[in-house]
Structure 1
Amino acid sequence: MLDTITPVILTFNEAPNLDRTLRQLAWADRIIVVDSYSTDATLDILKRYPQVEVFQRPFHTHADQWNFGLQQVESDWVLSLDADYRLSNELIAEMDRLDPEAAIAGYFIPFKYCVFGKPLRGTLLPPRAALFQRFRATYIDDGHTQLLQVNGDCATLQAPIYHDDRKPLSRWLWAQDRYSLLEVQKLQSTPTEALSLGDRLRRNKVVAPFVILVYCLLVHRGILDGPAGWYYAFQRVLAEILLSIRLIEAEQQGMEG
């Protein structure tokens, strides 16, 4: 089935990650990359791969970028990837064996989070609908990220994608602060009954960071991963603290306004 799949990737200054991602896509005849005018070596790396076709456009929202990327695809199936997603060899073989029934419009794929290249025992990342039929799916914005809406049934694959981000911590902090502002908008504009349990905890502002620490280290056994496990747990706690600070800030500004 690999010959019916086109990978689509979004990029912005992803030089630390791109080679690992693209090396696992050697099977693809065509790879669509939507770049938000990178200023590092991203474009130079992309030029090394002849099957890559680059489209540059200003970034507005993730959903806009993804939907634009889907418009460039000519194959029946799409594999949507962030630039720090690396396919496992087992996943490539599993996708090649697929013979989907007509009712199946997409597949959820599990994730393994990596820190310094080491896969962790467990992470907060749920399986993601990343392989789908082009004409039966569209993206919508969801807080700081995007949500794929698939018109049809979805199955789940067994082999994972590795989330292996090697960008500097300063870039991660910059992104998390941006994301926290979008999450605040989502949490404040969504009725409580429409929020997930996790988002209700976040709206509380105090509970979420402590819950995340326990969840990462104990429930997902991150404590057994050594320094990589602690690093991931502290990252997730810091992201929740940033969100709590932004929520408090927004509430105070609202009261003053």
Structure 2
Amino acid sequence: MNIDTITPLILTYNETPNIERTLAKLPWAQEIIVIDSFSEDSTLEILKSHPKIKIFQRKFDTHAQQWNYGLEQVKSEWVLSLDADYVLTNELIETFSSLHILAIDGYFIPYKYCVFGKPLHGTILPDRLALFRKARATYIDDGHTQLLELQGRSTRLDAYIHHDDRKPLSRWLWAQDRYMVIEAKKLLQTPDRELSWGDRIRKRKIFAPVIILIYCLILKGGILDGWQGWYYAFQRTLAETLLSIHIIEAEYLRKSADS
């Protein structure tokens, strides 16, 4: 693959603590497309200091709509979709140039979650279909996040992206609360037979926070990561607890409306 045929596409909203580290790994890009949701901090100032970046502002409605708008702005054959707290590893950048793309339309990339810069042994983040041919891809909403629908063949890369979010805890809590309202709605509106086993457990409310704590610390090796592993485990447990609370609240309001 010619690395010049790849355009990084990034979504931003108040990403001052993160965006510079993300951009520092993209000097190879001929052009970078950023879709900003009207940031109110210094994100735009940082972006404007990089001549390769083209900034488009759009009011946020859903992740899928925002990503699809971004795809419309990309002119290259290939897109590398990145959140503003994703940092490419050197190994991944080297991998791009050695890819044989004749029969492949997209690549799943694994992630390592970082806590204050330290990569953890394991996290609950799934691989993401982040490198793909623009003409073969469309985003759809999936709960609080999005999925990429790819027409064609895909495979998985071995090199990692680091997910290294340095925003303050208050911002994380604000985002998680918004996300879990949407996620609760999705779980309650979807029949159990159409849910994954993990989502079925989450829908039961009581068990998910406890299970996720054990999963992060024991099964994913977080206990080996010191206080950073505990931090991540508590963070994910808190997110699942917020989801359980929103499900309980939504069920109560629905019953009250029916009575």
TM-score (norm 1): 0.99
How far 1:99 moved relative to its partner?
2.1
Q: Aligned residue for 1:170?
A: 170
Q: Aligned residue for 1:128?
A: 128
What's the secondary structure of 1:243's corresponding residue? Answer: helix
Task: Give the whole-Å Cα distance in 2 for the aligned partners of 1:198 and 1:139.
Answer: 23
Cα shift readout 1:107-132 (whole Å, capped 9, x = no counterpart): 00000000010000000011110000
Which is further off, 92-101 or 109-118?
92-101
For residues 16-31 of structure 1, what are the structure 2 equivalents within 5 Å? 16-31=17-32
Cα shift readout 1:31-86 (whole Å, capped 9, x = no counterpart): 00000000000000001111000000100000000000000011000000000000
Q: Aligned residue for 2:254?
A: 254
What's the secondary structure of 1:104's corresponding residue? Answer: coil
Task: Give the whole-Å Cα distance in 2 for the aligned partners of 1:254 and 1:72.
Answer: 41
Task: Give the whole-Å Cα distance in 1 for the aligned partners of 2:191 and 2:9.
Answer: 33
Q: Aligned residue for 2:11?
A: 10
Cα shift readout 1:197-243 (whole Å, capped 9, x = no counterpart): 11101100001001101100000110010000000000000000000
Q: Aligned residue for 1:202?
A: 202
Q: Aligned residue for 2:220?
A: 220
Task: Give the whole-Å Cα distance in 2 for the aligned partners of 1:25 and 1:133.
Answer: 19
Q: Aligned residue for 1:66?
A: 67
1:81 paired with 2:77, answer no
What's the secondary structure of 2:105's corresponding residue? Answer: strand
RMSD: 0.5
How far 1:164 moved relative to its partner?
0.2
Cα shift readout 1:149-196 (whole Å, capped 9, x = no counterpart): 000110111100000000000000000000010001100111111101
Task: Give the whole-Å Cα distance in 1 for the aligned partners of 2:58 and 2:81.
Answer: 17
Unaligned runs of 5+ in 1: none
Task: Give the whole-Å Cα distance in 1 for the aligned partners of 2:58 and 2:223.
Answer: 42
Which is further off, 92-101 or 22-31?
92-101
Task: Give the whole-Å Cα distance in 2 for the aligned partners of 1:174 and 1:28.
Answer: 32
The alignment-based identity, stated in percent, is 63
How far 1:90 moved relative to its partner?
0.3
Structure 1 stretches of at least 4 aligned residues deviating more than 2 Å after TM superposition: none
Unaligned runs of 5+ in 2: none
The count of corresponding residues between Structure 1 and Structure 2 is 256
Task: Report the residue type matching 1:6 in the other structure.
Answer: T
What's the secondary structure of 1:139's corresponding residue? Answer: strand
Task: Give the whole-Å Cα distance in 1 for the aligned partners of 2:137 and 2:222.
Answer: 35
Task: Report the residue type matching 2:163 in the other structure.
Answer: H
Q: Aligned residue for 2:152?
A: 152
What's the secondary structure of 1:45's corresponding residue? Answer: helix
Task: Report the residue type matching 1:115 in the other structure.
Answer: V
